[in-house]
Amino acid sequence: MTVARCLPGAQARYFCIRYLKPVLSVRPSLQSVRWSVTSPKQWISRQSRDPFVKQRAKDGYRSRAAYKLEDIQRKYALMKKGMVVLDLGGCPGGWAQVAVKYAVRSPQKSVVPPDSGGAQGKVVSVDLLLTDPIPGATLIRGDMTKPSILEQIYLVISSKGPAQALCSDAHARKAVVDVVLSDMAHPFTGSRTADVARVIELCELALSVAEQPGMLKNGGAFVCKFIQGEGDQELRALMKEKFNRVAYEKPGASRSGSAEGYLVCLGYKRDI
């Protein structure tokens, strides 16, 4: 029996994509393949020793990645109650759960602070994979680069009716998203150069979605997974052009042997 069959739905899908999915766009050496593929026994052993995995079970988070966003949130206070948060590549849902915790007011709370504009807060999570329901979040399954999915996202975040959301002049839409999150990553290949290039590609993809009409508002925040390496200066320079502040963060919840970190970009400069 495989590890994936031993795990509940969302975790099984995550394991298959993170560790078992073939990498077709590059041809790493045999040594790289050995380095990049985690066997089921290795994976189970590492998980059993990981304090964040144990804490995840107590807190009800779907992935240990949730604690990476918790670390970033504690330092930067990106999300506040009543905000609109867009989570890109959200499956299995750990980041969306954290976003709901900080951005969405409980339905039982009858008093809404006067400075919130009456907003309840929204979290929209988008992924090609099916994500199990998350209380307080709207889940959209599909390709975030397709116009039909972008329209669906805007329809949810804008609180508009279809006639208003799907107006002919898309550029006239008011940007309403406060925070865009992306923990997207291809399966690592073992080649640092290839992995950096692939992560940069996903950062740029997430940014392109954030910059769509009606999405990230002026002054908003953007967080994306990032690996430092050859070619990353161009991406940093791009982010510095578009945001007032750009920082690199290595959350405490990131594994010590992992090359991953995050770009935290604050104060989006949307043309208004």
**Predicted confidence band of residue 24 (pLDDT cuts 50, 70, 90):** very low
Residue with the larger pLDDT of the pair 117 and 22: 117
**pTM for the whole structure:** 0.78
Tens digit of pLDDT for each residue in 59-103?
788 988 999 999 999 999 999 999 999 999 999 999 999 999 999
Task: State the catalytic residues.
Answer: 225
Only one residue has tokens 């329809």, namely: 155
The DSSP-derived string for 49-118 is H-HHHHHHHHHT-SSTTHHHHHHHHHHH----TT-EEEEET-TT-HHHHHHHHHHS--TT--PPPGGGTT
**Given 3.30.420.40, 3.40.50.150, 1.20.1250.20, 3.40.50.11810, which CATH number is that of 62-268?**
3.40.50.150
Return mean pLDDT, the chain. 79
What pLDDT does residue 255 have? 65
Q: What is the mean pLDDT of residues 141-153?
A: 95
The H-or-E segment that residue 151 falls in is helix 147-157
Helix 232-242, helix 192-210: angle, nearest 10: 20
